[in-house]
């Protein structure tokens, strides 16, 4: 199983790290630079409404399906056509709820126009994620990796042409939305075509008993995704509502700009969790006799994520002004003030991707939902207090505190359930590693950003190897093992 995990990580990280940084830092930053900050904030607030309610398009089916197919691969032939029928029905429910939310928000005609396209895009994206869950459950990580970047490749081509080829009028935010629609539609068609060649297709079939049974089993997953999406994405919505309209759109745009780089950095942790969920699902299939590889696999992934996230958080925070000045034409100081706080969220977010995935694989949805609900209350409470006083900086603090609580609570629950005892030596090693990276950042304040990043990466790899946090020899030995 460790070889399967390493192989899956290799493909998903390779392809995504080639494409998605350019998408986030090239295309998305290019779009925000091409339109006004307030205009992008206008789009971002509407996008988050569509994003938060997208769980209604899925109802937890994707996460449930990944775990279920990983444990029972033969069920895919029976479930595929029926689940696709369910997702078409869920589209109607989703559209009613999102447009009702738009009415409550007091949206005008332009806002509803964007909301309609963004809602359809969320449906296509949800469909792609469901199709990918089948690849993941079958451990077809190469195909999953290709599909995971295909939509971004298409959007890079379309948006790149609109942004940089001569002869075009001023870029409009609507073009960005249209490009998403085209890319998602093409990717969904290709993913479905590939999957149909891997399974026995019986056509679309709707069965009321099957639908009720699937929704009953997937609802805890749905609630978890809704709660997590809420505490991750509610900040710009609160900014736009708790501040006067012009200031709300402006600071929502500032938060979006700072959040974008954090989003790019946390992509690594998310990509690690993609093959991790089906692997851990198979390891925890028989809870009476836990897989002996479970503890060492979890420890290895934890070390990988801590080495990466601590290095990224400390170094990027020390380069906040340089990085924001590099990516954005204006308002670099405002972006940097938010980013310098927000970026430390990569550490708890990375831990949540590890231990949240472990608890999900083990079916511990009740505990996860309780923790996510508490996290949402913490996030909203801090935002309500700090936004009127500190604007987007207050939202950054709220996000960091909420994410830290969620990660610590998940680690505590996982340690109790799986009887994992704290390892003092391991904690001391992590502490020493952190001090080393902090010391390096403090002693190199004038170093060029790209030199500092490359040097920090080299230092982190060497330190992790010397401290025994990550063993290159062990990784190579595992990859050489026969299946």
CA distances (Å), 352 to each of 101, 235, 368, 414, in order? Answer: 29, 19, 11, 11
Structure tokens at 327: 């990516």
CA distances (Å), 54 to each of 73, 122, 190, 460, in order? Answer: 27, 6, 22, 38
Q: Which residues contact 89 (CB under 8 A, 6 or more apart)?
A: 206, 211
Which has more pLDDT, 25 or 443? Answer: 443
Assess contact for 371 and 406: CB atoms under 8 A.
Answer: yes
Q: Distance (Å, rounded) from C-alpha 177 to C-alpha 182? A: 9
Q: Distance (Å, rounded) from C-alpha 447 to C-alpha 450? A: 8
Helix or strand (DSSP H, E) at 412: helix 392-417
State the angle between helix axes of 294-318 and 424-443 in degrees (0 to 180), rounded to the nearest 10. Answer: 20
Check pLDDT > 80 for residue 125: yes
> What is the DSSP secondary-structure string of 453-466?
HHHHHHHHHHHHHH
Structure tokens at 255: 């938060």
Averaged pLDDT for residues 49-71: 82
> Residue 404, CB half-sphere, CA atoms under 13 Å: how many?
11
Write the pLDDT tens digit of every residue in 287-307.
Answer: 555 566 777 888 888 999 999
Q: Which residues contact 131 (CB under 8 A, 6 or more apart)?
A: 147, 188, 191, 192, 195
Q: Distance (Å, rounded) from C-alpha 314 to C-alpha 310? A: 6
Cα 425 from chain centroid (whole Å): 31
Question: What's 421's DSSP letter?
Answer: P
Length of the chain: 483
Q: Distance (Å, rounded) from C-alpha 261 to C-alpha 301? A: 23
Q: Which residues contact 65 (CB under 8 A, 6 or more apart)?
A: 79, 83, 130, 133, 134, 137, 218
Q: Distance (Å, rounded) from C-alpha 8 to C-alpha 180? A: 27
Assess contact for 37 and 254: CB atoms under 8 A.
Answer: yes
Write the pLDDT tens digit of every residue in 411-434.
Answer: 999 988 888 777 899 999 999 999
Instruction: Look at the chain and report how many structural domains it folds into.
Output: 1
Question: What's 25's DSSP letter?
Answer: I
Number of H helices and E strands in the chain, helices first, is 19, 0
Q: Whole domain around residue 143: which residue ranges?
A: 2-480
Assess contact for 368 and 224: CB atoms under 8 A.
Answer: yes
Check pLDDT > 60 for residue 363: yes
Q: Distance (Å, rounded) from C-alpha 137 to C-alpha 150? A: 20
Which among 154, 156, 153, 136 is positioned nearest to 145, based on CA atoms? 136
pTM: 0.77
pLDDT, residue 476, reads: 60
Write the pLDDT tens digit of every residue in 159-195.
Answer: 888 888 876 778 888 999 999 999 999 999 999 998 8
Check pLDDT > 60 for residue 479: no
Which among 454, 429, 437, 449 is positioned nearest to 309, based on CA atoms? 437
Write the pLDDT tens digit of every residue in 325-345.
Answer: 888 877 889 999 999 999 999
pLDDT, residue 8, reads: 64
């Amino acid at each position: 199983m460790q070889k399967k995990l390493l192989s899956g990580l290799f493909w998903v990280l390779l392809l995504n790290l080639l494409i998605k940084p350019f998408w986030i830092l090239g295309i998305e930053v290019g779009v925000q630079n091409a339109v006004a900050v307030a205009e992008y904030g206008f789009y971002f607030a509407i996008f988050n409404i569509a994003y938060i309610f997208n769980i209604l398009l899925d109802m937890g089916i994707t996460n449930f399906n990944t775990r279920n197919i990983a444990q029972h691969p033969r069920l895919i032939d029976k479930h595929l056509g029926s689940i696709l029928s369910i997702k078409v029905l869920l589209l109607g429910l989703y559209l009613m709820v999102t447009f009702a939310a738009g009415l409550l928000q007091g949206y005008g005609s332009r806002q509803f126009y964007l909301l309609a396209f963004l809602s359809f895009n969320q449906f296509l994206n949800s469909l792609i994620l469901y199709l990918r869950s089948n690849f993941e459950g079958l451990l077809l990580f190469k195909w999953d990796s290709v599909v995971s970047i295909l939509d971004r490749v298409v959007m890079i081509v379309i948006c790149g042409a609109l942004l940089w080829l001569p002869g075009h009028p001023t870029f409009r935010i609507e073009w960005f939305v249209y490009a998403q629609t085209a890319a998602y539609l093409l990717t969904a068609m290709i993913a479905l075509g590939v999957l149909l060649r891997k399974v026995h297709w019986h056509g679309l079939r709707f069965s009321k008993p099957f639908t009720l049974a699937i929704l009953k089993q997937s609802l805890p997953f749905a609630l978890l995704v809704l709660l997590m999406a809420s505490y991750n994405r509610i900040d710009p919505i609160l900014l736009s509502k708790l501040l006067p309209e012009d200031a709300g759109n402006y600071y929502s745009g500032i938060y979006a700009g700072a959040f974008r780089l954090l989003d790019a950095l946390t992509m690594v942790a998310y990509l690690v969790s993609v093959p991790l969920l089906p692997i851990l699902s198979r390891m925890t299939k028989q809870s009476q006799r836990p897989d002996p590889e479970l503890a060492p696999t979890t420890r290895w992934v934890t070390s990988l994520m801590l080495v990466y996230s601590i290095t990224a958080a400390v170094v990027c925070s020390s380069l906040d002004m340089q990085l924001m000045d590099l990516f954005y034409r204006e308002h670099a100081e405002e972006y940097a003030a938010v980013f310098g706080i927000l970026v430390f969220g990569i550490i708890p977010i990375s831990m949540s991707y590890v231990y949240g995935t472990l608890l999900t694989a083990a079916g511990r949805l009740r505990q996860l939902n309780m923790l996510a609900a508490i996290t949402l209350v913490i996030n909203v409470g801090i935002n309500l207090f700090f936004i009127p006083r500190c604007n987007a900086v207050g939202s950054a603090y709220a996000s960091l505190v909420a994410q830290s609580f969620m990660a610590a609570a998940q680690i505590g629950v996982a340690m109790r359930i799986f009887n994992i005892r704290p390892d003092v030596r391991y904690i001391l090693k992590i502490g020493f590693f952190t001090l080393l990276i902090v010391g390096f950042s403090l002693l190199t304040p004038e170093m060029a950003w790209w030199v500092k990043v490359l040097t920090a990466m080299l230092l982190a790899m060497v330190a992790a190897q010397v401290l025994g946090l990550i063993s290159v020899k062990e990784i190579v030995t595992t990859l050489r093992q026969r299946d």
